[in-house]
Amino acid sequence: MRSLPLPLALTARISPVAVLACAGWALTSGPAASSATAGHPTAQSASSQSSSSSSSSAGPSSTVAAKAYSSAPSPCTSVSAATVKSLVPGAKTSGKEIPSTDTKLRRTCSWNALKGYDYRWLDVSFEISGSDQEATQEYEQRVKEKSGGGAVPGLGNSAYSVVNLTTEDKQQTREGVVMVRVSNALVIVTYNGSDFDTKKAPGTDEINKGAIQAARAAVGALGGGQSQSG
């Protein structure tokens, strides 16, 4: 008598990202596979061995997602000269990079100037995390620390903007902060201003739009820090 063919082992090809997102999820065979193997213990054993072999051959490399960004781009060239002139009148468009203990993972550029009585300050920072998950956790923590803002649609994987007004010795200063996550990278933009003649601060809309404008430019510059694998 001709023996029936063994049922095909259920296989699943899971991408590295899906493995990280769905850790611990047990894959099971469908009804057809169950009915086919119910009366054939030897076939069921062969299927189990095949699944075990497939799982062990996957190796650690298949469960680790490649980092999209391996290093931070140059922050002082992340914003165009025209944008710097618009947001920080009178500032040197080349900016000044702030010293960092690890320029591969964190870089910041600063522009500031006093033109007449108007003062403006702009900071653009890039921070590279070890994974998307680490960047997401850092992003969410920072958002919690900056209450009162809102999401910025269409910018990175997620973006948040907040504007606050402070007063010291009757001098107002309004500061906007935009935080953006793009894969395993964070972009942090700080933009503030004061008028030393009127003692007033620029309007909320002006500061918020300026900070978002700089953030969009900085996100566009992230390509300079992209790894070959990304």
Q: In a structure prediction context, what are the per-residue pLDDT tens digits for the chain, which is 230 residues long?
A: 444 443 333 333 333 333 333 333 333 334 444 444 444 444 444 444 444 444 444 434 334 556 799 999 999 999 999 999 999 999 999 999 999 999 889 999 999 999 999 999 999 999 999 999 999 999 999 999 998 999 999 999 999 999 999 999 999 999 999 999 999 999 999 999 999 999 999 999 999 999 999 999 999 999 755 543 33
Dihedral in degrees, nearest 10, Cα atoms 124, 187, 155, 76: 40
CA-to-CA distance for 107 and 98, rounded, in angstroms?
7
Sorted by where each begins, the domain ranges of the chain are 16-63, 75-225
Please tell me the predicted confidence (pLDDT) of residue 3.
43
Q: Where are the beta strands (DSSP E) in the chain?
A: 96-98, 106-115, 118-128, 150-151, 158-168, 171-182, 185-195
CA-to-CA distance for 120 and 163, rounded, in angstroms?
15
CA-to-CA distance for 105 and 75, rounded, in angstroms?
12
75-225: which CATH architecture?
Sandwich (2.60)
Residue pair 107/72 in contact by the 8 Å Cβ criterion: yes
Residue 202 burial (CB count, 10 A): 21
